[in-house]
Structure 1
Amino acid sequence: MTSTDPSVPSGAVLELRDVTFRRSGTQILDGIDLTVRAGEHWALLGPNGAGKSTLLGFCGALTFPTSGTVDVLGRRLGRVELQELRRHIGHVNPRHPVRSPLAATEVVLTGITGTLELPMRWDATAAEAGRARELLHSVGLDERRDARWPTLSQGERGRTLIARALISDPRLLLLDEPTTGLDVAAREQLLETIDGLSHTAPELASVLVTHHLEELPETTTHALLIAHGRTVATGEIDGTITTETVTRAFEHRIRVEKADGRWSARAVRERAAAGRAAGAVA
C-alpha cells in the first residue's frame, strides 16, 4: 500500500503509536508515541542506552517495531516498499562511510542515487549538478565544493552531508548526533546551518538525536525525552526540557537553563545545594 493512510493525523509527517521493541528478549523501547508535523523540528534526547538510535531507525524506515505502528510520510511500515519511501527521507550521520576520495559535490550527488559511491555509468544532469552547487553554497562551502572528502574538516563534512540529505528534496530530515567530533567553532557553524533550514525549507520536518542540550539548534520546536526505553516527557520544547525532567531522565541532579535561544545543562553539586538550603532556613 503506497497511498496515504487515513488513520494518520492530518499534517503528520511521522506518527509512532505505542511502539515497543525487543531484542533477544530484552525490552529496548516500551510504549513510545511520537507525532511530528510539517515544519516542526524535534529533538530526541536521553542518556546513552535510552533507545534513541533504535527509535531513529523507525523514523528512517530502517527497522520495524516489535509491536505498535509506525507511519512515515503517511505510509505504514510493513505495507510499503521501503526503498521508495527512504528516497523521501534525508539522513545526516557524521559516521557516513565515504571510502573513495570523492569531491564534496560528488558526495552531495550520491544523495540522489542513495548510494555511498557514484554508480558506474551514472552521470548527473546539468540541473542536478547545479542543485548540488546551490546546496553547497547554502551551507557555506562554495570554495570547498571541489575539495576531496579526506581533505575536508569534520565540520565541513557535516555540512556536506546536510547538503547531501537535502538534494532529494525530502519531507523529513533525520540528524543522528550531527555535531559528534566537532570543535566549538565547527559545532556552531553546523548549528547555524541547521537553523537556516527553517527559512530555506519551511515545510521540512526534522528529528535530531543528541544527549547534549548544548547541541540543540535554536529552531528546535519540540522534544521527546526518553530513558530506559520509556517516555519521560514530550511536547513543545520549553515545557519538556526542564530541570525536573532532565534530572529524572539522566538520574542525576541537573540544572537546565536557556539563554538567547540556546540550552545548557550543569550538574547541581550536592555541597552547593546543601549550602543554599541552609541559607534559606537561616
Structure 2
Amino acid sequence: MSTETTQTAQTQPTTDEDLLIDFQNVSFVRGGKTLVGPVDWQVELDERWVVVGPNGAGKTTLIRMASAQEFPSSGVAFVLGEQLGKTDMRDLRAAIGITSSAIAQRVPDDEKVGDLVVSAGYAIMGRWREEYEGMDYEQALEVLEQVGAMHLIDRTWGTLSDGERKRVLVARAVMTNPELLILDEPAAGMDLGGREDLIGYLGDLALDPDAPAIVMITHHLEEIPFGFTHAMLLDEGSVVAQGLIEDVLTSENVSKAYHQPIEVTYDDGRYFARRARKGRGGAHRA
C-alpha cells in the first residue's frame, strides 16, 4: 500500500459500532444562519434521550439530521453506522421509526387507521394494491392496542383529533421494529388523560431492554416518560448541557436555556418545571 493510500485511509472518519447516532462537530446552516451546532452527540443502543429547549433552539433541525432527513452543513454525522452523505438515505430511513407533524401532513384524509399502521412495514404512505400477511395485521392490532388506539382502527385519518393522530403515528413508528425510534413532540395536542396514557406506554417501552434506542423532542418536562436516561438542552442552536438526565435537567440548566428562573422538581420518576416565584429573570423568548 502506498504512503498516499495509507494517509487517506487514516483520515477517513470512523464511528464506534455501538453508536446509533454519532455526531462529530456537526453544524447545520441555512440562509447564512447557523440553526444547530457545532454539536458532538453520541447515542447508544440502550439509551433513551429527550431533547428540550425553547422555540427556535434547533431541536427539530437536530432531529431531522438524526432521522436521515437532512445532511449536516459541516462536521461528520453517522446514523446507524452509516455516514450521512456517503450512503443511501432511503435505506437508513427504513430502519428508523419516526413521528412528526411533517409525516402527519402527508397522510391522506381518507386513509384508514389500520391501513396506515400496517403499511409502515413497507415504508409507504397511502395503501393502494399491496397484499399483507396475517402476521402484519396481528402486529398492527397489537401496537394500536398498546398505544390506546385500537378503537380507531376503522376510522379514517381525516376524522381523527390531534391527540388521536398522535397515538396512531406512534403505533406506525413502532410497527416496523425500528433500530432507532424518534418522537417529535408525541404528546402535543393530547388531553390530560390521553397524554398520561401515552407517557405510560412510552415509559414501559423505555424500560424494555429489547426496545430500540429512543430520542424524543418535547417542550414540557412533564411529558418526559419514566425510564429515560439522557437529556440534551438546546438554546439558539447551541448545547446548554447534555448527558445523564439527572445531571442535565436541573433548575440551573433549564433556567439558563429559557432565560428565566425555572424551578425543576422530580417526583416518582417524572420531572416537573415552573417559573420560580422568587427572584427575577429575563422574559421568555417567543
TM-score of the two chains, using structure 1 as the length reference: 0.89
Shift of 1:147: 2.6
Q: Alpha-carbon deviations, 1:117-151, whole Å to 9, x = none?
A: 11x32121222122211221222333332233233
Contact 1:159 1:193 in 2 (8 A): no
Counterpart position of 1:228: 236
Shift of 1:257: 0.8
* 1:116 maps to 2:143: no
For residue 60 of structure 2, the aligned residue among 53, 59, 69 is 53
For residue 34 of structure 1, the aligned residue among 16, 41, 50 is 41
Q: Alpha-carbon deviations, 1:35-57, whole Å to 9, x = none?
A: 11112110011111111111001
Counterpart position of 1:198: 206
Counterpart position of 2:284: none
How many residue pairs match? The answer is: 267
Identity of aligned residues (%): 36
Whole-Å Cα distance in 1 between the matches of residues 211 and 15 of structure 2? 18
Q: Identify unmatched segments of 5+ residues in structure 2.
A: 1-11, 281-286
For residue 147 of structure 1, the aligned residue among 135, 152, 155 is 155
Corresponding residue SS for 1:235: strand
For residue 186 of structure 2, the aligned residue among 178, 182, 187 is 178
* 1:159 maps to 2:167: yes
Shift of 1:15: 0.9
Q: Go from structure 1 to structure 2 and tell me whether the alpha carbon gap of 1:198 and 1:192 turns closer, same or farther (over 3 Å shift).
A: same
Shift of 1:267: 0.9
Contact 2:207 2:227 in 1 (8 A): no
Counterpart position of 2:283: none
Q: Which runs of 4+ in 1 moved over 4 A?
A: none
Corresponding residue SS for 2:228: coil
Counterpart position of 1:100: 109
Corresponding residue SS for 1:107: helix
Counterpart position of 2:4: none
Q: Alpha-carbon deviations, 1:157-196, whole Å to 9, x = none?
A: 2222111111211010010111111111111111112112
RMSD of the TM alignment (CA)? Answer: 1.9
Counterpart position of 1:16: 23
Whole-Å Cα distance in 2 between the matches of residues 133 and 6 of structure 1? 43
Counterpart position of 2:176: 168
Counterpart position of 1:266: 274
Whole-Å Cα distance in 1 between the matches of residues 207 and 58 of structure 2? 31
Corresponding residue SS for 1:99: coil
Q: Go from structure 1 to structure 2 and tell me whether the alpha carbon gap of 1:39 and 1:203 turns closer, same or farther (over 3 Å shift).
A: farther
Corresponding residue SS for 2:163: helix
Whole-Å Cα distance in 2 between the matches of residues 258 and 54 of structure 1? 28
Counterpart position of 2:140: 132
Contact 2:22 2:42 in 1 (8 A): yes
Shift of 1:199: 4.7
Whole-Å Cα distance in 2 between the matches of residues 47 and 159 of structure 1? 24
Q: Which moved more, 1:41-50 or 1:131-140?
A: 131-140
Corresponding residue SS for 1:100: coil
Whole-Å Cα distance in 2 between the matches of residues 178 and 220 of structure 1? 15
Letter aligned with residue 162 of structure 1:
V
Q: Alpha-carbon deviations, 1:206-226, whole Å to 9, x = none?
A: 110112111111121100111
Q: Alpha-carbon deviations, 1:44-74, whole Å to 9, x = none?
A: 1111111111100110000011111111111
TM-score of the two chains, using structure 2 as the length reference: 0.88
Q: Go from structure 1 to structure 2 and tell me whether the alpha carbon gap of 1:199 and 1:273 turns closer, same or farther (over 3 Å shift).
A: closer
Letter aligned with residue 122 of structure 2:
T
Equivalent residue runs for 1:65-104 within 5 Å: 65-94=72-101, 96-97=104-105, 98-104=107-113
